[in-house]
Amino acid sequence: MDRLKKRILVIDSPAFINLKIPLQPLENTVYVTTPRVLNELKDRMSELHASVALMQRVIKVENPSESSLKEIKKVLRILGEDISRTDISVVALALDYKKKGENVTILTDDYSLANVANYMDLKVKLLTKKEFKSVIKWRYQCPSCKRYFKEKKRCPFCDVELIRRGRRIRSVDP
Ligand SMILES: [Zn+2]
């Protein structure tokens, strides 16, 4: 019986750029990512690193479930966050693992992605040094009449562009 529970690390594209992935498989850590992340790698160093990691079976590539994708999209609307389809796939894949009761962490340097993940109570490790202390809900405010709106559009009363304003809705457990 395997007593040590494996740690699942879901990786976003910056993890390839910053070479945060080992080149040999680790005993107690599984690296996973989505096809979208791999397709998004732009520089040669990241691509090279990804191909070595794939060849050595350090990373597994999986698509997230449709139900988790839907859940994340719902959260985006709640928070007023706007993240790419690639970022959505990363959070959704992590959510799939969490639902299976796995010890899962997302490795990223994207604050919006981290914000969504934190809201879903998913563990996030930021590749940058800055700590992430709260979940932010975004709203849009008219600079002229000060009214708040949920979506980014022009103010229907003043016809000026709205400004994005963040509000802390809760803190994140360390
Ligand atoms: Zn206005």
pLDDT tens string 87-119:
999 999 999 999 999 999 999 988 899 999 999
- Distance in angstroms (rounded) separating the CA atoms of residues 30 and 104: 9
Distance 79 CA to ligand 1 centre (A): 22
> Are residues 115 and 138 both part of a single domain?
no
DSSP letter (8 states) at residue 126? E
How many domains does the chain fold into?
2
Length of the chain equals 174
Q: Which domain holds residue 85?
A: 7-126
Q: How far is the CA of 149 from the centre of ligand 1 (A)?
A: 10
Q: Are residues 84 and 157 in the same domain?
A: no
The answer to whether residues 108 and 139 belong to one domain is: no
Q: How far is the CA of 166 from the centre of ligand 1 (A)?
A: 18
CA 165 – ligand 1 centroid, Å: 14
- Are both 102 and 17 inside the same structural domain? yes
In a domain, 174, yes or no: no
Cα(162) to ligand 1 centroid in Å equals 8
In a domain, 78, yes or no: yes
C-alpha of residue 140 to centroid of ligand 1, in Å = 11
- Report residue 4's pLDDT band, with 50, 70 and 90 as the boundaries: low
Residue 160 lies in a domain: yes
Q: Kindly state whether residue 20 falls inside one of the protein's structural domains.
A: yes
Q: Is the domain of 145 the same as that of 121?
A: no
State whether 80 and 149 are in the same domain: no
121 and 80 in a single domain? The answer is yes
Are residues 70 and 113 part of one domain? yes
> Any idea which of 8-17, 20-29, 60-69, 99-108 has the lowest mean pLDDT?
20-29
pLDDT-derived band of residue 1, with 50, 70 and 90 as boundaries? very low
139 C-alpha vs ligand 1 centroid, how far in Å? Answer: 14
Q: Which residue has the higher pLDDT, 95 or 3?
A: 95
Residues 16 and 44 in one domain: yes
- 140 shares a domain with 118: no
Phi–psi pair at 65, nearest 5 degrees: -75, 155
Please tell me the predicted confidence (pLDDT) of residue 48. 84
Does residue 1 belong to any structural domain of this protein?
Answer: no
pLDDT in tens, 58-67: 889 999 999 9
Question: How far is it, in rounded angstroms, from Cα 110 to Cα 19?
Answer: 16
Same domain (yes/no): 116, 140: no
Residue 13 Rama label (left phi>0; alpha psi -120 to 50; beta): alpha
pLDDT for 22 beyond 70: yes
115 and 163 part of one domain: no
Summary mean pLDDT of the chain: 87
pTM assigned to the model: 0.79
Distance 141 CA to ligand 1 centre (A): 8
DSSP code of residue 42: -
Q: Work out the average pLDDT over 6-14.
A: 90
Q: Which of 160, 98, 170 is nearest to 135 (CA)?
A: 170
Instruction: Note the pLDDT of residue 174.
Output: 58
Where in the chain does DSSP place strands (E)?
Answer: 7-11, 29-33, 59-61, 103-108, 123-126, 134-141, 148-149, 163-171
Tokens of 154: 């022009």
Region 37-51 average pLDDT: 86
Indicate which CATH number applies to the domain containing 22: 3.40.50.1010
pLDDT digits (tens, 9 = 90+) for 123-132: 998 887 666 6
